[in-house]
Amino acid sequence: MINTFLFISFITGIAIGWYNIFSPFFIVLFAFLSFIVLFFTFLSCRESSFIISLVIFFTFLGSLWVMPYSFHKPSDFIDKESVFLIQVTSLPKEKYLKYIFYAQVRQIDGYPLSFRVKVNDFSRRDVQYRDIYLVKGRLTKFTFKKFCFYTLWLKKNAYLEKRSPNFIDNFIRNITYHIVLYFRKYLSDDAYGFLSAVFLGRRELAREQMKFVFRGAGIAHLFAISGLHVGLISSILFFILKIFRIKFRLRLLISIFFMFLYVLCTGGRPSIVRSALMFSFLGGSFFLKRRISLLDTLSTTGIVCLLLNPLWVFDLGFKFSFLAVFAILMGFSLFPLKSIGTKLFFVYIKGIFFSTLYVTIILLPLISFYFGKIYLLSIISNILLIPLFTFILIIGVIFLCFYFVPFLAEVLSEVVSVSVSFFMKLSFLLSSFRVSVIDIYFSEWLVFIYYIVIIGIVLCVFRERIRKFIVI
């Protein structure tokens, strides 16, 4: 449970540092003083004092960690000609005399920043996925429903200098290009865009109509590569390694290695990083032969994610990913899922139903606050579509494994294409119902009141079960 408090305090510290509540001098001073107090409370062997000082230290550590990014915000460079250091994070597409792609901004005029930007490149240079460039351009900002979207405009004669790529980026780019070309060669147009998006994270290859159908059916979360993908891929890899009679511990190590390779190939978004880290921590507990709390595992994962990038705390995918896992852990702790004899299929469907229900209850006000909509059929859509989605992913991974066997690749590609076609038709049918989506907006106060009520009900009704949940 202590890890949860540390996670919350670290998030609080990042917010304090980002919004400049204290000056940098006081943040450094308080961080140093809290470390001194932490050291002496550790020597005194007073557990309660040590925990309190540790929480305080993590708060100021969070402020200290985000400090390099807090001196300059993206809004400081709006409508100005600046020099940007960017890394291309999507496959460039040609459209109306320009190339369009997404990139991660690392620096502006030498100042460290980290945010995603859409690039309109009128210079039409040969820009490669995962490469790093120093460019001169103009940044613009568009605000829509509490979201800030940034666009970087590069003129026809814009300055563009390619930085020397490293081995990892070259390796990831080559793997991605090979897989995308393989999908393009064997799959139908819909299956190509679908599998590129849900397996590789290349959502720019999916048609806009497909994205619209996913949102309308309440299954847009399937586009976010997360625990479902990690679980399936690790299970298939475990099975393949078992065929070669590799010992369990070695299989686990190999799986962890490939999980992080998969994280890099899919762009390293918060949801997939969270899944891979949780998988690694649970695997590590097996090696150490220690029982580990799932709540502490989630909190430790959150701390590590924010150490990698403190600005992820403001990322919507980060918030939704951690809240969704927390909802599932807490929900199944309060209401354990009982098996129904040997009918595993019904247990699976029941698991999908309650997982979606718990996640919906927790995320409903945030979805309404950010998007102004509530998806009424999301539970039904998930029950009907997740089993088929899982089947498509499994066949997709097997299809990828038979890259060097053209005959089997063609057979499996037909299965994938037909399955995706059926999946899209069913999704379109669910999204076409008038009651599938309703427009409701939760204000900040309504969101606050909603969570206070939920917390109050849970604490009053399930006090004993909450105590068990804390140690699970």
pLDDT tens digit sequence for 356-369: 888 888 888 888 88
Q: What is the pTM assigned to this prediction?
A: 0.87
- CB 408 within 8 Å of CB 386: no
- CB 150 within 8 Å of CB 74: yes
- Taking the C-alpha atoms of residue 455 and residue 472, their distance in angstroms, rounded to an integer, is 19
Residue 468 has pLDDT above 60, yes or no: no
- Taking the C-alpha atoms of residue 465 and residue 152, their distance in angstroms, rounded to an integer, is 51
In this structure, what token pair is assigned to residue 68?
């390099």
Question: Which has the higher per-residue pLDDT, 44 or 122?
Answer: 122
Question: Which has the higher per-residue pLDDT, 74 or 96?
Answer: 74
Cα Rg of the chain, angstroms = 24
Confidence bin at 461 (pLDDT 50/70/90):
low
Confidence bin at 198 (pLDDT 50/70/90):
confident
5 closest CA partner among 300, 387, 358, 419: 300
Report pLDDT for 465.
57
Report pLDDT for 85.
94
- Taking the C-alpha atoms of residue 375 and residue 190, their distance in angstroms, rounded to an integer, is 24
- CB 231 within 8 Å of CB 258: no
Residue 341 has pLDDT above 90, yes or no: no
Confidence bin at 462 (pLDDT 50/70/90):
low
- Helix 294-308 to helix 47-70 angle, to the nearest 10 degrees? 30
Percent of the chain's residues with pLDDT above 70: 95
- Residue 79, sorted as left (phi over 0), alpha (psi -120 to 50) or beta, turns out to be left
Residue 153 has pLDDT above 90, yes or no: yes
- CB 175 within 8 Å of CB 202: no
Residue 232 has pLDDT above 90, yes or no: no
Residue 44 has pLDDT above 70, yes or no: yes
Interstrand relation of 81-88 and 111-121 (parallel, antiparallel or unpaired): unpaired
